[in-house]
Structure 1
Amino acid sequence: MTAMTTLTADDEQQIHELWDAMARSWAAGDAASFAANFSETCDFTTVRGEKPPGRDGIAAGHDRLFRTAYRGTVLRARVTGIRALRPDLATVNAESTIVGADGTPLVSTHALAVVERTASTGGWRITAFHNMVPVAAAGGR
């Protein structure tokens, strides 16, 4: 049997901070700051199945969103689970709601992400991110 890998409380706090930083960047409409939470070569999949190329593609796509459909919105992001795979690698489940300027929830998403400790700084970055809009189960369940 393989020993279970765990993260330190500091590691978990740093991982939560990635989502907090994304929410702050979203509220500021700052696409570059938003994208800085992702690795340069992040494998990112949008809710529409698009795959922008790395951090630059994430920044460009969010810049468009922040100037158009999601201008003036906020992102309420919440990490719902972290599973350590190795001391430097973990999966993260997160839920987010985009809220309009008037406080109306516009869309909710769920994401599965892979986060990795960077060798250069020892901090964490998102290296894979798959975002989706959940659909209600048949029969309202």
Structure 2
Amino acid sequence: MSAEIKALWERMAEGWAAGSGERFASVFAPDTEFVNVRGEEQHGRATVAAGHQNLFQTRYRDTKLTADVHSIRFITDDAAVVHVASTVHSSDGKATGTHAQAVVERRDGEWLITAFHNMVPAS
């Protein structure tokens, strides 16, 4: 199960690298609750996809995302809280780190992110 959950972040990074908001957001549940690093709330996979597509066409064009899943704590057999450190790498070598706390659920045999809160760690 842990490998399936970690794979969500691998798929997310692949979507980011492709510059595809739709592929990036494919790991989120249709009714996901997403909070970005500025504290802005986005409701639903389609909204997350559209917002990220805009980012990929503007300030995050030609960037890469890497993610390191730090912990997975199962709440039930079909739900877990996940902590992930991510880094956005720009083409000029700059890197910006974030930390996310997510809730993942297994729905109809598929793991999806149902709640996601992304933040810039305090220095």
Q: How many residues align?
A: 123
**Which runs of structure 2 are paired with 1:18-57 in the superposition (5 Å)?**
18-57=8-47
2:111 maps to which residue? 124
Higher strand share: 2
Residue 123 of structure 1: CA displacement? 1.4
CA distance in structure 1 between the partners assigned to 2:24 and 2:106 by the alignment:
18
Local SS of the residue matching 2:121: coil
RMSD: 0.7
Which of the pair has more CA radius of gyration? Answer: 1
Identity of aligned residues (%): 49
Q: How far off is 1:58 after superposition?
A: 0.3
Counterpart amino acid of residue 78 in structure 2: D
How many angstroms apart in 2 are the aligned matches of 1:130 and 1:53? 12
- Note the residue ranges of structure 2 that are not aligned, 5 or more in a row: none
Q: Which position in structure 1 is the counterpart of 2:101?
A: 112
Match of 2:5 among 11, 15, 38: 15
Give the distance between the partners of 1:52 and 1:90, measured in 2 at CA.
Answer: 21
TM-score (norm: length of structure 1): 0.85
| TM-score (norm: length of structure 2) | 0.97
